[in-house]
Amino acid sequence: MLVRIKLTKTIFLFSLRRNLNLHHQNKIALPLPKNYRRPLRQRMMQSNHTALDADARDILLDVFLNGEPEECRTLYMGITSFFGAPKETIQNSALYPQAIGNLVRFVALFPEDQTHLFLALHNPTTFIPAMMAEAKTDNLNFIMNKSDPLALRWSDLLKSNRQRFPALSMTIWFTEDTPYI
């Protein structure tokens, strides 16, 4: 099965759900975020402390696919905080320092599935205020965690993902270009 994770706003997912019957005919599952966000996060956090059950993938898919076709080839999930919560986004002058760990845990849960990440990058001048808004704070230091804003590079995140997961499919674009896509 192909698991596609969209790391930006879920409006994309809800747009796809407008043609749900067509997607179901093509064995594409578009579960509602409430069906997978919390169970996935809980299981990924548990995997830090306990070994994975042999049937962990199947149990999660049963929860995720509630109301979706029994047999699907592709599963779309929109998880904006997959790489970390807004307050954990910037640390040590790096973007999303938990990204690799989260991907390792996810791939361990779905080892036989092909994962494809969709990631919209933001200009830091709009990204940092957006993270402040999501974290419900007006304290820049809370988000920046004593990091140098001039040292933030999306390329560092992408390079570390590619080094750790060379076969991982990624589709990347700049949020500012979204109207042209």
Residue 76 one-letter amino acid? Y
Choose among 97, 116, 168: nearest CA to 7. Answer: 116
Q: Note whether 47 and 3 are within 8 A (CB).
A: no
The answer on pLDDT for 100 being more than 70 is yes
Mean pLDDT in residue range 81-104: 93
Q: Is 168 helix (H, G, I), strand (E, B) or coil?
A: coil
Residue 138 tokens read as 């007006």
The answer on pLDDT for 180 being more than 70 is no
pTM of the model: 0.87
**pLDDT digits 0-9 by tens, 16-45:** 889 999 999 999 999 999 999 999 999 999
Mean pLDDT in residue range 38-55: 89
- Domain tally for the chain? 1
Q: Which carries the bigger pLDDT value, residue 7 or residue 174?
A: 174
Residue 105 one-letter amino acid? R
> Which domain does 13 fall in, by range?
2-180
pLDDT band at residue 47, thresholds of 50, 70 and 90?
Answer: confident
